[in-house]
Chain A
Amino acid sequence: MVEGLQGRLGAYGRLTIAQVRSQAQYRVSFVMDVVASAAFALLDILSVLVLFLVTPSLGGFAPAEVLLVAGLAMVGFSTADLVTGNVERLRHYVRTGLLDAVLIRPLGVLPQLLAIDFAPRRLGRVAQSLLLLVIALSVVDVSWTPQRVLTAVLAPVVGTVFFGSLFVAGATVAFWWIESGEVANAFTYGGRDFTVYPVTIYAGWFRGLFAYGLGFAFVAYYPALVLLDRPDPLGAPEFVRWLGPVVAAVAAGLAWLAWRAGVRHYRSTGS
């Protein structure tokens, strides 16, 4: 059993390495890819900071506080993107029938897909968002307690699991609707953009849907409130800010169910 697991992990590892090497073959393009990816992360942050050129606060939060929310959101998102982001290529595999080749191998379908499209350039993005989080944490001057240390460590993990589940669940749409195109992006990248800002800037049913219905408020906003030692301007009870791990676990469970149903539903594309 252990030997089988080791063999399988070895196979995933070799698939990943093969992918990295094949990408590095086109050297100029690869270097530009890495540079663009790093620049993207930087500009993501700049697109938040640029708002403070015209306003001193956003939704009642000071620049450094927004930066903390953004840092928590981006660490979770970029790590999930590194590990599971390429699953969005699933619709390409379903459309062309290439998924058949993946299905007949004696390995898990999801880990194989993650390995064969692994994009190492995304590592730069993870590093940059971690740096942003560290900077934000030092600027807002957190008075550290065991609870807050736990929050600072757990929140990125919660974010990774949560966004990873979204990537997987979003990709499974392709099993039923091949032409779904960018619909999943509305919730993965859209969710990232939502999470980067304090929930207080949104209003009405849109806030209700994204913050609580889909759970994005628990990724960065509530952990940030814990770290900042601020009451929730929206008046949610105290325990709500600790619900992150529960929300992430539920999301992972739902994504797993959706994936299993999708693979079972898959009937190839013929011809």
Chain B
Amino acid sequence: MSPKTLYDKIWDAHVAHEDEDGTCLLYIDRHLVHEVTSPQAFEGLRMAGRSVRAPDKTIAVPDHNVPTTPGREDPKNMTEDSAIQVAALDKNAKDFGIHYYPVSDIRQGIVHIVGPEQGWTLPGMTVVCGDSHTATHGAFGALAHGIGTSEVEHVLATQTLIQKKSKNMKVEITGKLRPGVTAKDITLSVIGKTGTAGGTGYVIEYCGEAIRDLSMEGRMTVCNMAIEGGARAGLIAPDEKTFEYVKGRPHAPKGAQWEAALAWWKTLYSDDDAHWDKVITIKGEDIAPVVTWGTSPEDVLPITDVVPSPDSFTGGKVGAAKRSLDYMGLEPGTPLSEIEIDTVFIGSCTNGRIEDLRAAAEILKGKKIAVKRAMVVPGSGLVRAQAEEEGLADIFRDAGFEWRLAGCSMCLAMNPDQLQPGERCAATSNRNFEGRQGRGGRTHLMSPAMAAAAAVTGKLTDVRELM
């Protein structure tokens, strides 16, 4: 048998049909659904008189535009259009008989945090969702990627996707990370190196000692932003940490099935002599705590650096950098650590898990915020409950943070949590696009520890100075 990558193995195990030109029907093991990209898909099913082919493999949760303030179970406390979308998901989940976590359920949260938490996401699976950050689930060695609404409808109706195979890219992070450097710094640094189109046409497998050393939470952060590098998906081969995380989750296999699953999962790794179409290697020790300075996730620099000059770029990036600096209100040559911050947002499917909250709380303990406002939005109701139990919520509250309910919140600002024009935010989310967090809002992406550091000093800060 010819050597295979992890991606090759998962792909081969899911091809339900292949045409002569290589177009395949890829079977989908888990379909995650949220309120924003699904209403038109369910409507399409109704109009064509179709049903959901595998409702037991379909899981829905509202997350994108739900408020994160108390009383949100009452639709009157949502904007009318948000309430309509959430009500549509309620109805669609009921009508089509799919698994559902409503706003009132403590298990509700961001779809990419709920899936792994409930054991829906397992190694070797194919996972899709009408959301680009589906890449998150790749941390389990699952082939996971975002799809459009037409494809959501296609999966609902057929449990398959029409796909052609992507190329294989290996991103290896060797050695150890330095203190203060986290999974977020890894994933941002990779995008800084490859660019936001560097992964287009590829599935990335992240490997190397620094990746192995990460917790499952950290691995999810890394894979989450594979899409920001343009890749279809990001993957990390499952290992003992993965199995330990999965074991005992509500929808994880049990008993004899666990043993059978484990035996297969242990075969899910890239063979030594597998073929890679592209290889990127970064030394773990070379990665610093980073922030973004512009309006693309590739605009990444170590916190010790200065705002770059547009002239330091080439091609279309010169104009893009000019436009970015104008939008961000920044002058070339300004030290990044002198940029003052108005707001801090900790949360999102990138960094809304318990470990992220622990990392931020560690920096905030006994300190007060020096920014106008700061909020923590846990990724799920269960993350929130755990953080309260561990005393993290008190640390955040005492520091002056708002302690919110679970949802996507200010990552994409579809709910009332939005930046005002010119408001500058240190955010643990995944996109710094123009207007992403609110029209005219200025976003700097960073790790939870770095965001917490910015909260206590009021400007972008090297977290290592507070450690």
Q: Do A and B come together as binding partners?
A: no
